[in-house]
Structure 1
Amino acid sequence: MELSVVDLSRLQFAMTALYHFLFVPLTIGLSILLATMETVYVMTGREIWKRMVKFWGTLFGINFVLGVATGLTMEFQFGMNWAYFSQYVGDVFGAPLAIEGLMAFFLEATFVGLFFFGWDRLSKRQHLAATWAVAFGTNFSALWILIANGWMQHPVGAIFNPDTMRMEVSSFFDVLFNPVAQAKFVHTVSAGYVTAAMFMIGISCWYMLRGRHLQIAKRSLAIASAFGFASALSVVVLGDESGYEANLNQQMKLATIEAMWETEPAPAAFNVVAWPDMEKRENIFAIEVPYVMGLIATRSLDTVIPGINDLVDRSKDRIRQGAIAWDALQKIRENPAEASEELRETFSQNANSLGYAYLLLPFTDNPMEATTEQVDAAAWSTVPNVLPMFYAFRIMVACGFFFILLTAVFFYYSSSGKLDTLREKRRWLLHVAVWSIPLPWIACEMGWFVAEYGRQPWIIESMLPTSAGVSSLSVTEVLLTLAGFILLYTTLLVIEISLMIKYIKIGPEDGEEAVAPPPSLQPVPSSATVPAE
């Protein structure tokens, strides 16, 4: 298959974004856990909590630095690979990114230095304030990034100016409080909390299996399981909100997630397992649960969820309407000063569908002269590949319910004072937790795949196709930068994993017996009591 500049630019941004998000969720979640643990230290004065903060803070610092290094490149790509996109939406898109850099990033970057180097220079309360500032800045940074991304998913608070050929902000309030952006923010941040909790649980279980640093491991398990259980529950609830918003604003995404080809009577069934066939435009087989999809996506019994085929038919109508807007726009651009009010009114009435006219440009130079076959082809280009969308979503959901189960189990054992039982009789649970450490990252990456790939072919939903947003580059140029980024990011990932493993093996500062005797392999009599560590 011959790859185009558009394909390679998409691949490059996807690669850098997915690499970057390997670091982001752990940073978001660990920042809150560090602040919580240090709060306990300041309130109780017990040195073990300080050692916990320093140990987990070391892992946080490694992850933070590499997250910054990988994140800087992404913003440069808007100018390097997506020049027309940057010109088209710079007035809207630039504001939240600028605020993120000037406020949130500088906040966390400033106080992260105080966190690491201020232990002997600040009072307990001053250092605690710095730690909470890092946590606030980290989460605040995510807010502005997701406001920008949410606007791409659901562009509100902006209008297209035919004279400047740019999107211009009409209401920053609408941009800021975009319901899609708000739902994405709370869902994504909660996923970061789960990632950090699962990471802390897994590492703590590794120490328990080896009988090392048991006091810190037990306390880390207690706080991480409680935090993770609450966060995992919130991820499911907030994910439901994201699905509801998708039904309101991105119906094609929702239809492809569910492999729903035909519109069903309300409430629609949920496909637990299916095998979608893009060529036949149907599911080869499907296992359905009646009514569930309709209840989840619409929160009602009588709201219909449109299927893929009906949405394609709607796209055909919008493509024809967009062609009228495109034709009027070309005439306005020829002589803006003399464009009649009637011509501008024609454009204004059809402007909401202008983006659909751009879908015709790969097939014809003049959308007004498009044939029926070309309109059909453009309309079907609005359908992402259903199979990867369908299973990526289900992998994410399956991981989410697993996190609820696992964190609930460890929360039960920690809150009931039975963690020693795990070392003696339930060691397999400790092994499960250790091997589950990568799962939150898999779930996060699947979530971003669904969010971004499911928006295709749009770089801005229903307004600007991805193919229209690229820079004027050659295939060779994009291939060279793609190869360079893959090499650089892979190197950084190897460095992070190596450093993480190194400092995990070293463990926290010694304030207790570093290694405890291994638990007896013989069963403990029911009448015996296990002495506290």
Structure 2
Amino acid sequence: MELDIVDLSRLQFAITALYHFLFVPLTLGLSVVIAIMETVYVMTGRDIWRQMTKFWGTLFGINFVMGVATGIVMEFQFGMNWSYYSHYVGDIFGAPLAIEGLMAFFLEATFVGLFFFGWDKLSRLGHLAATWAVAIGSNFSALWILIANGWMQNPVGSSFNPQTMRMEVNDFAAVLFNPVAQAKFVHTVSAGYVTASIFVLGVSAWYLLKGRHLELAKRSLTVAASFGLAASLSVVVLGDESGYLSTEHQKMKLAAIEAMWKTEPAPAAFTAIGFPDQEARKTHYAVHIPWVMGLIGTRSLTTEIPGIEDLVAHAETRIRNGMAAYGALQEIRAAGSDAAIPEAARTTFEENGADLGYALLLKPYLDDPTQASDEQIAQAAWDTVPNVPTLFWTFRIMVGLGFFFIALTAVFFYLSARHQLDRYPWLLRVGVFAIPLPWIAAECGWIVAEFGRQPWIIEGVLPTAAAVSNLGAATVLTTIVGFSLIYSVLFVVEMALMLAAIRKGPEADHAPRTRLAPPSLAPAE
């Protein structure tokens, strides 16, 4: 079987991104959690809060190092595997990427050092300022990455220059304040806060079950439940905003998430469950909830959400317009100077240039898109549909887990307010087993966002197939194997270090250990 360089390059980036994203959410969330804990320490002067800050800070440090190590590789991949993409959009994509590097390697790294080594060298307020700088730096680092990614989802503030054959910035403020980027930022950061909250909650619940470090565990669990409940609620609200923006800027992604093959009368129903069949272009055994999708996607009762088939027909029209733009571009390039450009070619490109990227969808089928047949155009139009079953199920897993986190943190928040955190061991066990669930939700969210954009690397502008480097398949396959092995080792190392730190605890526990009574023997009220 012939290896496809595009699929291999996508697989390599997906593997490294998914590995990297194992570390990012916890870094974002724990940085804020430890800052909150140290703030309480500075305000109260109680040593238990200093102990908590240092303990959870140790786990943050382990995770932070792994996140930096895996993130560096991703940035180099833009040049290694996606060189044409880097050339095509470097003027736009490079700026936020460079600023993110400054945030990560100067602001974060500097203050991380002060956090770990400045406890006895800085005043309480000085050290607290360093801790909050770590939290702010971590979150601002994510902001710039998501500004870059948001531009890939909604390429605003830029235009294509036919002379240089590159996208160029014409409004950096529009790139910076791109509504898709801002929505992705707050949604992603809130998801990181949930991840850290469930992590702290689960570890604290484990300590309560083991009868160890009870004072630290109860306080940590209280912080995690309070912070986690607020973050879980915000994730749902901000996720709704992302869905609304998808209706405006990524209609195909939204239709695929809903497995909405045909346009429905407004307001559209929400498909709670079903079994999408991409080959048959229908969803089997679908259970619909009337009006919900229309309200979520359009916030009205009268606006239609286009279905996949109508969007494909629209894509076919844009492909034909793009073919005209592609032909005009060849004439512009051949003219050699601005004065020599035929006026008809200039006019044609100005009218159809926005659809040039759609003509590039024909490149996998023939070298000259202007010579495409009707069958090839139709095939390219259907290529704009991502894998519907994958998006359908990953979205529902993510949403289902999101509501579970709201319920879990709400229950622990209630028990914390009533000082009954250790009253129900079975619930503590649920908290322990819930630790990996935020990572599953986060990875599902990444798949929905990035896999749902396919076949575009830049929505409506540059197809993924046109963005890869001219590398041999064997070379990319070798790096996939190498990265997978190295990252797997790093993951095992992180897990070993984290588990060792958790088992050790914040300090030697000299208090007698008392296990909680089993559920049947627990006192009831």
TM-score, with length taken from structure 1: 0.96
**Aligned 8 A contact 2:422 2:516 in 1:** no
What does residue 382 of structure 2 align with? 380
Per the TM alignment, residue 364 of structure 1 is displaced from its structure 2 partner at its CA by: 2.1
1:519 paired residue among 516, 519, 524 = 516
Q: Which moved more, 1:83-92 or 1:325-334?
A: 325-334
- Whole-angstrom distance in 1 between the partners of 2:521 and 2:475: 65
- Whole-angstrom distance in 2 between the partners of 1:192 and 1:3: 36
The change in CA–CA distance for 1:4 and 1:47 in structure 2 (over 3 A counts) is same
- Whole-angstrom distance in 2 between the partners of 1:342 and 1:241: 43
Per the TM alignment, residue 493 of structure 1 is displaced from its structure 2 partner at its CA by: 0.3
- Whole-angstrom distance in 2 between the partners of 1:141 and 1:419: 35
Per the TM alignment, residue 336 of structure 1 is displaced from its structure 2 partner at its CA by: 3.0
- Whole-angstrom distance in 1 between the partners of 2:436 and 2:264: 38
- Whole-angstrom distance in 2 between the partners of 1:494 and 1:115: 26
Alignment of 1:100-111 (within 5 A): 100-111=100-111
What does residue 373 of structure 2 align with? 371
**Aligned 8 A contact 1:105 1:141 in 2:** no
> SS of the counterpart of 1:56?
helix
Give CA-to-partner distance per residue, 1:404-428, whole Å, 9 cap, x none.
000000000111211232xxxx211
- Whole-angstrom distance in 1 between the partners of 2:428 and 2:266: 45
What does residue 129 of structure 1 align with? 129
The change in CA–CA distance for 1:524 and 1:160 in structure 2 (over 3 A counts) is closer
- Whole-angstrom distance in 1 between the partners of 2:522 and 2:300: 54
- Whole-angstrom distance in 1 between the partners of 2:322 and 2:97: 30
1:481 paired residue among 475, 479, 482 = 479
- Whole-angstrom distance in 1 between the partners of 2:403 and 2:356: 41
Aligned partner letter, 1:427:
P
**Aligned 8 A contact 1:274 1:286 in 2:** yes
What does residue 351 of structure 1 align with? 353
What does residue 269 of structure 1 align with? 269
**Aligned 8 A contact 2:209 2:516 in 1:** no
Per the TM alignment, residue 162 of structure 1 is displaced from its structure 2 partner at its CA by: 0.3
The change in CA–CA distance for 1:101 and 1:520 in structure 2 (over 3 A counts) is closer
What does residue 342 of structure 2 align with? 340
1:462 paired residue among 460, 463, 466 = 460
TM-score, with length taken from structure 2: 0.98
Task: State whether structure 2 residue 445 is matched by structure 1 residue 447.
Answer: yes
Aligned partner letter, 1:435:
F
Alignment of 1:29-44 (within 5 A): 29-44=29-44
Per the TM alignment, residue 520 of structure 1 is displaced from its structure 2 partner at its CA by: 4.5
> SS of the counterpart of 2:362?
coil
> SS of the counterpart of 1:359?
helix
Give CA-to-partner distance per residue, 1:272-303, whole Å, 9 cap, x none.
11111111111122111111111111100000
> SS of the counterpart of 1:376?
helix
The change in CA–CA distance for 1:205 and 1:473 in structure 2 (over 3 A counts) is same
- Whole-angstrom distance in 1 between the partners of 2:120 and 2:313: 67
What does residue 163 of structure 2 align with? 163
What does residue 224 of structure 1 align with? 224
What does residue 530 of structure 1 align with? none
The change in CA–CA distance for 1:515 and 1:259 in structure 2 (over 3 A counts) is farther
Give CA-to-partner distance per residue, 1:173-216, whole Å, 9 cap, x none.
00000000000000000000000000000000000000000000
Per the TM alignment, residue 99 of structure 1 is displaced from its structure 2 partner at its CA by: 1.1
> SS of the counterpart of 1:160?
strand
Aligned partner letter, 1:394:
R
Q: Which moved more, 1:401-410 or 1:269-278?
A: 269-278
2:415 paired residue among 413, 416, 435 = 413
Task: State whether structure 2 residue 207 is matched by structure 1 residue 210.
Answer: no
Per the TM alignment, residue 56 of structure 1 is displaced from its structure 2 partner at its CA by: 0.3
What does residue 142 of structure 1 align with? 142
**Aligned 8 A contact 2:38 2:50 in 1:** yes
- Whole-angstrom distance in 2 between the partners of 1:284 and 1:295: 24
> SS of the counterpart of 1:119?
coil
Aligned partner letter, 1:431:
R
- Whole-angstrom distance in 1 between the partners of 2:271 and 2:449: 19
Task: State whether structure 2 residue 120 is matched by structure 1 residue 120.
Answer: yes
Q: Which moved more, 1:262-271 or 1:327-336?
A: 327-336
The change in CA–CA distance for 1:354 and 1:514 in structure 2 (over 3 A counts) is farther
Aligned partner letter, 1:357:
A
Task: State whether structure 2 residue 10 is matched by structure 1 residue 4.
Answer: no
**Aligned 8 A contact 1:213 1:515 in 2:** no
1:509 paired residue among 507, 510, 516 = 507
**Aligned 8 A contact 1:213 1:513 in 2:** no
- Whole-angstrom distance in 1 between the partners of 2:366 and 2:9: 23
**Aligned 8 A contact 1:105 1:138 in 2:** no
- Whole-angstrom distance in 1 between the partners of 2:374 and 2:101: 47
What does residue 425 of structure 2 align with? 427
What does residue 397 of structure 2 align with? 395
Unaligned runs of 5+ in 2: none
Per the TM alignment, residue 18 of structure 1 is displaced from its structure 2 partner at its CA by: 0.4
**Aligned 8 A contact 1:105 1:137 in 2:** no
Aligned partner letter, 1:183:
A
Aligned partner letter, 2:399:
V
Per the TM alignment, residue 495 of structure 1 is displaced from its structure 2 partner at its CA by: 0.3
- Whole-angstrom distance in 2 between the partners of 1:427 and 1:384: 44
Q: Which moved more, 1:192-201 or 1:99-108?
A: 99-108
**Aligned 8 A contact 2:210 2:516 in 1:** no
What does residue 73 of structure 2 align with? 73
Aligned partner letter, 1:436:
A
Per the TM alignment, residue 158 of structure 1 is displaced from its structure 2 partner at its CA by: 0.3
- Whole-angstrom distance in 1 between the partners of 2:186 and 2:446: 14
- Whole-angstrom distance in 2 between the partners of 1:196 and 1:86: 34
**Aligned 8 A contact 2:331 2:342 in 1:** no
Aligned partner letter, 1:293:
M
- Whole-angstrom distance in 1 between the partners of 2:178 and 2:228: 27
The change in CA–CA distance for 1:293 and 1:525 in structure 2 (over 3 A counts) is closer
Aligned partner letter, 2:93:
F
- Whole-angstrom distance in 2 between the partners of 1:524 and 1:382: 57
* RMSD of aligned residue pairs (Cα, Å): 1.2
Per the TM alignment, residue 367 of structure 1 is displaced from its structure 2 partner at its CA by: 1.8
The change in CA–CA distance for 1:436 and 1:103 in structure 2 (over 3 A counts) is closer
Aligned partner letter, 2:329:
L
Per the TM alignment, residue 366 of structure 1 is displaced from its structure 2 partner at its CA by: 2.1
> SS of the counterpart of 1:216?
helix
- Whole-angstrom distance in 1 between the partners of 2:435 and 2:328: 56
Unaligned runs of 5+ in 1: 528-533
**Aligned 8 A contact 2:363 2:466 in 1:** no
Aligned partner letter, 2:39:
T
What does residue 490 of structure 1 align with? 488
**Aligned 8 A contact 2:425 2:516 in 1:** no
Alignment of 1:307-346 (within 5 A): 307-337=307-337, 338-346=340-348
- Whole-angstrom distance in 2 between the partners of 1:260 and 1:520: 51
The change in CA–CA distance for 1:222 and 1:330 in structure 2 (over 3 A counts) is same
